[in-house]
């Protein structure tokens, strides 16, 4: 009898998810047809990686043309990591808003609050082990129509390898070059070229991101991106667009979460914390102009004296 009850409960949950899922998709599609502002915002997820975050923010401002508001949602597992974040926040005082996840009951409540506090416009997410490699003109990105397009800051015609599956990846068959930009159909792409719902530099409307934040189930940035894949059937029909050369790259030097056993390098975040406390910083300038072959790619860090 208990087995039958459990099966009935599972069926009811599945039905309820189906109804919720369908309603969410309908609401999302409505946001594509509604007007949204041209302001662009970036939300960074960071945990125990103040030094890597410093490199990301430094590269962001070194390559930025036009306006783009940036907010950091951070979590620190120790007081020493928290102190390092306080130092990064002081360095970027008045230029970056810092939101401590621990001040909320969950990442979900923190993200809903953060997105709700942003103007109606466009949003892209970043994680703290990213660096910008090329100049980004946010004035141009403000003009991109997102009703049928997902613009990616991480894609580029030089990306023929996928680090996460350790495999070569082909360029989309119908990839088109238009001056300095690429367009393709996400449905026709494979691996990274067929992955529209990334939190590494893909641009969406604020309205649809707020719907994700409110209605999906997640407890970390990894499970947030994982939950987004439930919506893949509705987003896979969109067009992809990017610069010919990617504007950023994810350098997976370490791993700070236990939900996904992804590949990563051997530079432990606590070792980087020691370097930070010794007054050092990652020299992110060495990555400017880097032509990476994958959206994730390991690289050696060069350290310089801060300030």
Q: Can you give the residue ranges of every domain in the chain?
A: 1-33, 35-305
Dihedral sign of CA atoms 90, 88, 63, 285 in order: positive
Residue 271 pLDDT > 70:
yes
As a whole number, mean pLDDT of residues 180-207 equals 96
Number of residues assigned to the chain: 307
As a whole number, mean pLDDT of residues 251-277 equals 75
Dihedral sign of CA atoms 232, 235, 239, 245 in order: negative
Instruction: Note every long-range contact of 215-218, with CB atoms under 8 Å and residues 24 or more positions apart, other chains counting.
Output: 215/20, 215/24, 217/108, 218/107, 218/108
pLDDT in tens, 111-152: 999 999 999 999 999 999 999 999 999 999 999 999 999 999
Of the candidates 206, 183, 41, 208, the residue with the CA atom closest to the CA atom of residue 126? 41
Q: What is the CATH number of domain 35-305?
A: 3.90.550.10
Pairing of strands 176-178, 64-65: unpaired
Q: Which residues contact 221 (CB under 8 A, 6 or more apart)?
A: 45, 107, 125, 127, 199, 257
As a whole number, mean pLDDT of residues 287-291 equals 95
| Res 16: pLDDT | 40
As a whole number, mean pLDDT of residues 215-242 equals 95
Percent of the chain's residues with pLDDT above 70: 89
Dihedral sign of CA atoms 200, 201, 204, 210 in order: positive
The span from the CA of 212 to the CA of 219, in Å, is 13
Pairing of strands 69-75, 40-47: parallel
| Res 256: pLDDT | 64
Cross-strand pairs, 131: 249
pLDDT in tens, 69-114: 999 999 999 999 999 999 999 999 999 999 999 999 999 999 999 9
Q: Which residues contact 252 (CB under 8 A, 6 or more apart)?
A: 129, 163, 262, 263, 264, 265, 296, 297, 298
């Amino acid at each position: 009898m208990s087995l039958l009850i459990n099966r009935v409960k599972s069926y009811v949950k599945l039905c309820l998810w189906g109804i919720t899922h369908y309603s969410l998709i309908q609401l999302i599609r409505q946001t594509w047809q509604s007007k949204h502002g041209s302001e662009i915002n970036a939300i960074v997820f960071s945990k125990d990686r103040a030094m890597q975050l410093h490199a990301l923010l430094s590269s962001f401002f070194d390559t930025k043309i036009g306006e783009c508001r940036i907010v950091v949602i951070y979590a620190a597992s120790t007081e020493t990591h928290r102190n390092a974040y306080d130092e990064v926040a002081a360095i970027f005082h008045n230029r970056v808003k810092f939101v401590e996840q621990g001040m909320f009951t969950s990442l979900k409540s923190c993200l809903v609050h953060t997105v709700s506090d942003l103007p109606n416009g466009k949003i892209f997410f970043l994680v703290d082990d990213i660096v910008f490699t090329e100049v980004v003109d946010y004035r141009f990105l403000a003009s991109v129509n997102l009703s049928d397009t997902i613009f990616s800051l991480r894609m580029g015609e030089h990306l023929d390898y996928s680090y996460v599956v350790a495999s070569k990846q082909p360029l989309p068959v119908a990839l088109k070059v238009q001056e300095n930009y690429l367009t393709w159909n996400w449905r026709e792409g494979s691996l990274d070229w067929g992955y529209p719902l990334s939190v590494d530099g893909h641009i969406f409307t604020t309205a649809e991101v707020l719907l994700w934040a409110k209605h999906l189930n997640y407890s970390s940035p990894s499970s947030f991106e994982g939950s987004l894949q439930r919506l893949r059937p509705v987003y896979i029909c969109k067009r992809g667009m990017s610069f010919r050369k990617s504007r950023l790259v994810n350098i997976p030097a370490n791993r700070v979460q236990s939900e996904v056993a992804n590949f990563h390098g051997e530079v432990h975040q606590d070792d980087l914390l020691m370097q930070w406390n010794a007054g050092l910083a990652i020299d992110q300038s060495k990555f400017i102009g880097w032509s990476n072959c994958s959206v994730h790619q390991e690289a050696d860090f060069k350290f310089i004296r801060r300030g």
